[in-house]
Chains A and B, each alone.
Chain A
Amino acid sequence: MTAIPHFAAQRRFAHGYALSLAALCALLFLIGFPAAGYGQPADTREVFVAGSGNDALDQYVIRLIEERVRETLVLRPLSDWHSPSSHNVPVIAIGPAAVTRAQNLDPPPPVLALLVKKSSVEDYPGRPGSQLSAVYQEVPLIRQALTGKAILPQATRIALLASTESSDLYQPLLGQLEAFGLEARIFVADTNDQLIPALNRALSYGDFLLAGPDDAIYNPRNIKHILLTAYRRNKILIGPNQIYVKAGALASSYPPMDTMADQASRHLEQFLATGHFPPSDYPIEYRVEVNEQVARSLNIPLPDPEQIASTINRMLEENAGEMSE
């Protein structure tokens, strides 16, 4: 799928012939948009946007960022990027595929990655002279673990399902849990044949199953088996994100899009001021998505999502000295 963001500016430039049929409209646009038709001050700087290919998502993200940087930046589609004039103009990349496209430009521009996982950014080899910073989409695993604890206060054991490769993802978590009266164990499944046996053993061990951002395990092909098996065993899945809550996971913490947009705008502002992005970071605020139907069916009393989120924050604050996200 072609990944081109479709926002208002692009529409107008892509369809100049339409404007020629509406000179009155153009005049009125100029009156309404003194800054070259973008609704921005004359001293604004450009930022390119590499879209994800999901039109609705791209427009939504662009709208959120435009709201926050309207005074200083103008967002243009990546198709307007021309070397070398666009050199050192930052690119907002929405999603991992967009990061790849932006990084493949020559010369590589500074890239601010949004809606990406920490692992995908860390693994990206980058290119000499390139800058890559990100606002991670995923939730720190300790926060996801505490999401389960806030819903099942009586829980003490967390089951983790991972491949040998992805088990590293959970290693930092294992040392953080003790402060919260929790322990966890990783059950390894490296092949499809090993998935259900490992899952069964994991469900026998844990009070709930915690899912991290591990596409090898939690993907559209596996999730049916995982959710049905867990449900039949009266066990719940926490995480890995909101999509899986819709599928049948009981809950997941998630960073609100407007919070991520706030952080993205701050990254952009810092770039404008210093010429460098700040280091990649997790969002600073999280909310909780719950599946009330599944909770009711499993006879699990479910606090309000806001209450769950505040319980998580309280637990993290109380143990702030012993660990950090």
Chain B
Amino acid sequence: MTTQPRPKDQPASRLLPVLIAGALASVTSSPATAEIDAPEFDASIVGFDEPVPEVLTTTRLRQPKTRVPGSTTVIDGSMIRDLGIKNLYEVFRLVPGMTVNFVGSHQPVVTYHGTSHYEQRRMQVLVDGRTAHRATLSDMDWESMPVPLEMIERIEVARGPNSAAYGINAFLGTINIITRDPADTDGGEVYVSRGSRGYQRTFGAVGNSGDTLDWRVTMENRRFDGFDTKRDGTEFRDGHNLNFFTWDSRTDLGTEANLELRAGLVDGTNRQDGDKNGELWPVEHPDLELRDYYLQSRLNYHLSPDHFFHVQVAVENFRREQQYRIAAGNSAANCLKAGDALFDPGAGCFISADPLDDQPAIYTDLNGDYEDTRLELEVQDTLVLSEDLKLVSGAGFRKDTLRSETYFNGRVDNYQSRYFGNLEYSPVNWLTFNAGGNWERSSTTGESYFSPRVASNFIINDRQAVRFVYSEAVRTPDPFEQDPDYGYTLRNVTPDVHSTLEGYRVTMADINPDLSQTTLGEDLDEENIRSYEISYFGQFQISDALLHLEVRGFRDELRDMIGGVIQLQNWTLDNNLAADQQGFELEAALEYPATTLRASYAYLDQDTWYTGAPILDENGNVDTGAQRERADLLERMSVTHSGSLAVIRQLPWDVTVSSAFYWADQFMRLDEQFERIDARISKQFFGPSYSAELAFTLQHYLNRNPELGRDDNIDHHNQFFMEAALRF
């Protein structure tokens, strides 16, 4: 607001010309023209008290979907809770193109456009900007992620390669989990849920929002029994019992800066079935004991309303202890002592002349322990040069320390450094360009990579846009793929007659008689992807309803893909696969008064072929069947059709009902499809200083045949869950 100086503040002589001019004007002007003497005034800022600050400034606002350089699915935390979703990984069934299934002992696998199976290597997953991937195997442990469902603000899934922004692991897509701000969780919250298959979740949170410090503490216990029975009808030992503790805070350091601190602990047991996990011949279930922690600090500094940066440091430690006892016959023990490969058909390590020699006679402990520590440093600067020009740039450094007697025979350090930037430019209001790139160096391969991404958004109006996106990305092999030193050390060997094997390290050479058929020790190169996207985003007001529609067409060329088997007795990893993926995805939401309908659908056509050295059969001919099997490894979770339908409706008396249908068509291995209908009814109570909710959820499995693992059986079509929540 501008205030004109008062006349008395000015020398009278300086007023003379003004007065003369004013007098002349008063003679010659009509009354109406006298209005021009009144000062300019912005009538929208009438206020008598202290000024109201502009809170939602340009740098605080998220990009509108019409200007986002690529298709992004955003799932709000409220939708997750309203649909009665019980586990974090199940959220991703709502994302077009994503499939969720299980391997091993109920280990959830989440993929976008398949290609992954046991190790979920090809997506970047971030929690509040912190990498959530484990370092050793570039894998995700969804069940032990320290993210309570109640604390999820939203999940953003950038579909398609986005290495330009997130680095070389953002190969097929990026999941960005954003938890609720500590300033938003002032007060207390308690949540309890019980349900079928031993599902138990107990959660509590308390927090406070003050003048300079906002903080929140959460504690959670998750228990679940996993699948019911294996194919032989015996109980499947695949549940978990995990405890979580998290701390989130933000301290204001003046008006320009604040400091975020986050910390978390995970502790508990992930039960593993001896038939599914554990090497050699377990006689105990090789349960995993978890001890994870993380510390994250982020300084946000606003240099001006149009310029801010953050500096983030995070340390994450993943520790897994897996100790179990195995048993073998005397014949196998003798093979080890003699240096004969256990699987050499001529050595008779398992089928000996005396059947008694094949009965369990030697007992020893094995361990699959490992501990990863990741140190991350990131600096990111955001500069809004004008309403039409925005530059985001930064640098990152990461050190992974991997300690495992079994997987690395000691310790491995791995380093990555990167520089990234993205320029967003809107020369006219109907067009936005984005050009970004990420230069990254990894000590795993000793090479540097550049991943570009360019996008043009043609904005038809504020409600519709057509995007054209081209991007390239790489995925470097993880340290275990590239530099394994894989072997199990025998400890506590009994009886004494086999004590010479005490401390003996069993490696692939002790098991596989034909190491030339393996690729252990061979260097791997990076995987490459080129991606083309045409997508459309539109919003339409239809009477009282608002329709959101997003359609994505894509063609992805995946080359030098790493495929093969990772086992102690066999190691066939190689850059020997290629795939073309094309298809389209649809995401639509229709918001009626008190009713929300949501639909997602994905069509994926994947063509995979073997590109490695010819695999020869015993006659020296190319074994096309074996080559096809290798290619099939890349298609186990690449389903042709998948999608979801959901409805949430508010009824009178604060009752909300919801239903969702999820399906994924024909997982390759068993040619089965996942189909489930969920239904939930909840009643909310609003008191003067509290809110409460009671809910009942039914999950109905339309198909109970396992889709991926033959042991993944659920005995009953219907699964039931009860919930109670209190916020105060």
Contact = CB atoms under 8 A, between A and B. Distances in A.
B44 A153 contact: no
B12 interface: yes
A224 B63 CA distance: 20
A70 interface: yes
B657 to A, nearest CB: 15
A293 B16 CA distance: 47
B183 A28 contact: no
B359 interface: no
Nearest to B544: A153
Contacts of B49: 215, 219-220
Contact of A181 (B34, B53, B184, B593): B593
A210 to B, nearest CB: 16
A95 B46 CA distance: 10
Contacts of A157: 594, 650
Given A55-B3, A67-B35, 14 more contacts: A29-B23, A54-B48, A59-B38, A154-B544, A154-B546, A157-B650, A197-B187, A200-B184, A204-B691, A225-B209, A232-B153, A245-B44, A294-B56, A301-B463
A52 interface: yes
B45 interface: yes
A193 B211 CA distance: 10
Contact of A234 (B15, B44, B76, B184): B76
Interface residues of B, number: 83
B184 A220 contact: no
B186 interface: yes
Of residues B37, B76, B186, B548, which shows the largest number of chain A Cβ atoms within 10 Å of its Cβ? B186
B23 A25 contact: yes
Nearest to B54: A247
B43 A25 contact: no
Interface string A49-78: 000111111011001000100100000000
Interface string A190-226: 0001111110110011000000000100011001110
Nearest to B596: A154
Contact of A17 (B12, B185, B728): B12
Contacts of B24: 28
A47 to B, nearest CB: 18
B173 to A, nearest CB: 21
B460 to A, nearest CB: 12
21 contacts: A15-B12, A21-B12, A25-B16, A29-B26, A39-B31, A55-B3, A60-B43, A153-B545, A153-B593, A154-B592, A188-B689, A201-B686, A215-B49, A220-B51, A246-B44, A246-B45, A247-B53, A247-B55, A254-B44, A257-B46, A301-B462
B585 to A, nearest CB: 18
A157 B652 CA distance: 11
B548 A299 contact: yes
B703 interface: no
A22 interface: yes
A233 B26 contact: no
A153 B594 contact: no
B625 interface: no
A88 interface: no
A224 B2 contact: no
A256 interface: yes
B184 A137 contact: no
A276 interface: no
B198 to A, nearest CB: 29
A26 to B, nearest CB: 8
Contact of A18 (B3, B15, B55, B62): B15
B54 A248 contact: yes
B414 to A, nearest CB: 35
Most B Cβ at <10 Å: residue of A24, A152, A185, A229: A229
B546 A153 contact: yes
Contacts of A298: 62
B691 to A, nearest CB: 5
Given A33-B26, A229-B181, A297-B64, A194 B689 contact: yes
B26 A59 contact: no
Given A8-B37, A233-B153, A293-B56, A14 B8 contact: yes
B187 A22 contact: no
Contacts of B76: 234
B27 interface: yes
Contacts of A26: 23
A310 interface: no
B38 A60 contact: yes
A25 B593 contact: no
B591 interface: yes
B52 A25 contact: no
Given A154-B592, A220-B53, A227-B55, A196 B27 contact: no
Nearest to A40: B31
A188 to B, nearest CB: 6
Given A31-B27, A156-B650, A223 B46 contact: no
B496 interface: no
Interface in A237-281: 241-248, 254, 256-257
B8 to A, nearest CB: 6
A2 B200 CA distance: 66
A115 interface: yes
B20 A154 contact: no
B59 to A, nearest CB: 11
Nearest to B595: A154
B43 A247 contact: no
Given A14-B8, A197-B727, A228 B689 contact: no
Contacts of A256: 43
Interface in B499-555: 539, 541, 543-546, 548
B410 to A, nearest CB: 45
A15 B15 contact: yes
Given A15-B15, A243-B44, A301-B539, A28 B3 contact: no
A175 interface: no
Interface of B: 1-4, 6-8, 12-13, 15-16, 19-20, 22-24, 26-27, 31-32, 34-35, 37-39, 41, 43-56, 58, 60-66, 76, 78, 153-154, 180-181, 183-187, 208-209, 462-463, 539, 541, 543-546, 548, 591-594, 650, 684, 686, 688-691, 727-728
B47 A59 contact: no
A156 B593 CA distance: 6
A301 B48 contact: no
A4 to B, nearest CB: 9
Given A28-B26, A200-B187, A220-B52, A14 B686 contact: no
A229 B39 CA distance: 38
A174 interface: no
Greatest chain B CB density within 10 A among A33, A155, A232 is at A232
A205 B26 CA distance: 60
B140 to A, nearest CB: 26
A55 to B, nearest CB: 5
A244 B52 contact: yes
A82 interface: no
A52 B3 CA distance: 14
Contacts of A228: 55-56, 60, 181, 183
A232 B19 contact: no
B54 A137 contact: no
Given A21-B12, A153-B543, A297-B63, A57 B20 contact: no
Contacts of B186: 193, 195-197, 200
A22 B594 contact: no
A11 B545 CA distance: 58
A25 B20 contact: yes
B462 A296 contact: yes
A57 B23 contact: no
Nearest to B652: A183
Given A18-B15, A257-B43, A293 B58 contact: yes
Contacts of B180: 232
A63 B38 contact: yes
Contact of A97 (B15, B22, B26, B48): B48
A188 B76 CA distance: 26
A19 B180 CA distance: 66
Contacts of A172: none
